[in-house]
Amino acid sequence: MKNYTLILIASLLFFSCKKEDSVACTTCNSPQTISFEICRESNGNASINGENTGTNYGIYITGLEEAGATCGN
């Protein structure tokens, strides 16, 4: 009986530690635009104003910074 209990507890702990889907956002600005918020969606893509850009967040931020934007202030 103890083995079944230990297996049940271990299973519950394993499945409860599932990675949470989360969104992380930062603010960017540039001389050409007003400040805007860019978010990293749970799938790794960047979104602006809730619209998925279809581009990886890191690549999108790099492109913005190369174009003169400042992000993360």
Over the stretch 26-35, which tens digit does the pLDDT of each residue have?
Answer: 999 999 889 9
**Residue 2 reports pLDDT greater than 80:** no
- Residue 69, C-beta contacts closer than 8 angstroms, at least 6 positions apart: 28, 29, 30, 33
If one counts the domains in the chain, the total is 1
pTM: 0.66
Residue 34 belongs to what domain range?
20-71
Residue 49: the pLDDT is: 85
Are 53 and 60 in contact, with CB atoms under 8 Å apart?
A: yes
By CB neighbour count within 10 A (0-12 exposed, 13-18 middle, 19+ buried), where does 64 fall?
Answer: buried
The verdict on residue 52 lying in a domain is: yes
Per-residue pLDDT of 12-55, as tens digits, reads 444 444 445 688 999 999 998 899 999 999 999 999 988 999 99
C-alpha 30/C-alpha 21 separation (Å) is 30
The verdict on residue 3 lying in a domain is: no
The verdict on residue 56 lying in a domain is: yes
